């Protein structure tokens, strides 16, 4: 297989089974399924999407490798109360290489046994990032409202909010963004069979391009943050 043709039911079954049989022995015995039915199609999907993603940002990391664009299935349990060894979900990301990538915007696509999701956002935006984000909204509200026109179906805004509004009586169109502690715009689907079809690649490419105005806006915030930290 040299072209992405979709994921397989065997791969989805593996993710379900690894959640139930979360042991090194079981994983070793089923490693071939993981490599062939999950990692191989993920690599092919990254390769297929790379041209589109480099048009969005020429500095994206696009190497189809675990730890670069593809997530690790092994969990780091050193500092966690949850000692589960393996994840039951896998994902890819397109982002610029960075030591602090969790606080920078990234495109993502994730599959699990019961569904998939994709979109754009932060894994864990820093307080500084969100403070700059809010400042930019207030600095040029009309520009921001124009940018977020791209956030339409099938995408929805998600992320934890402050319990109390940071600004009273704020325009609801602004407030729903302004009061976030973290944010992402995302599609969540429970029709997991979609990932068995090669057309999922076209769906991702179309959705990621739709969000380009927001990505550019968030990268402007990164530039402001980087200058402030010099």
Considering the domain boundaries, does residue 3 fall inside one?
no
The answer to the question of residue 1 being in a domain is no
Determine the structural domain holding residue 195 and report its residue range.
9-228
Q: What is the pLDDT of residue 206?
A: 98
211 cis-preceded (ω within 30 degrees of 0)? no
For 49-65, how does the pLDDT look when each residue is reduced to its tens digit (9 = 90+)?
A: 999 999 999 999 999 99
Instruction: Give the model's pLDDT for residue 133.
Output: 98
pLDDT digit string (tens) for 174-185? 999 999 999 999
pTM of the shown model: 0.95
How many CB atoms are located within 10 Å of the residue 190 CB? 11
CA distance 72 to 91: 9
Is residue 1 pLDDT above 60, yes or no?
A: no
Question: Does residue 161 form part of some domain?
Answer: yes
| pLDDT for 76 | 81
**Residue 175 counted as domain residue:** yes
Residue 2 lies in a domain: no
Output 152 or 102, whichever has higher pLDDT. 152
Encoding tokens for residue 65? 């490798």
Domain with 32 in it: what CATH number?
3.30.930.20
Domain count, the chain: 1
Sign of the alpha-carbon dihedral angle for 90, 95, 97, 100: negative
Do the domain assignments include residue 42? yes
Average pLDDT for 161-183: 95
Q: Does residue 172 sit within a domain?
A: yes
Is 120 strand, coil or helix? strand
């Amino acid at each position: 297989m040299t072209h992405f043709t979709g994921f397989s039911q065997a791969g989805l079954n593996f993710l379900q089974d690894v959640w139930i049989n979360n042991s090194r022995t079981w994983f070793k015995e089923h490693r071939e399924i993981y490599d062939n039915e999950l990692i191989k199609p993920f690599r092919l999907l990254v390769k297929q999407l790379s041209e589109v993603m480099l048009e969005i940002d020429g500095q994206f990391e696009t190497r189809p490798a675990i730890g670069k664009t593809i997530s690790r299935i092994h969990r780091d349990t050193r500092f966690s109360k949850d000692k589960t060894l393996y994840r039951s979900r896998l994902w890819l990301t397109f982002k610029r290489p960075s030591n602090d990538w969790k606080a920078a915007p990234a495109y993502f696509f994730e599959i699990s046994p019961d569904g998939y999701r994709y979109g754009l956002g932060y894994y864990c935006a820093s307080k500084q990032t969100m403070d700059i984000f809010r400042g930019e909204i207030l600095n040029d509200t009309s520009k921001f409202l124009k940018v977020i026109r791209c956030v339409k179906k099938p995408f929805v805004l998600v992320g934890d909010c402050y319990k109390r509004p940071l600004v009273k009586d704020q325009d609801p169109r602004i407030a729903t963004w302004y009061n976030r502690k973290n944010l992402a715009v995302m599609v969540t689907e429970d029709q997991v069979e979609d990932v068995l079809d090669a057309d999922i690649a076209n769906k991702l490419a179309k959705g990621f391009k739709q969000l380009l105005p927001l990505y550019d806006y968030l990268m402007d915030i990164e530039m402001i943050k980087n200058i402030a930290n010099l």
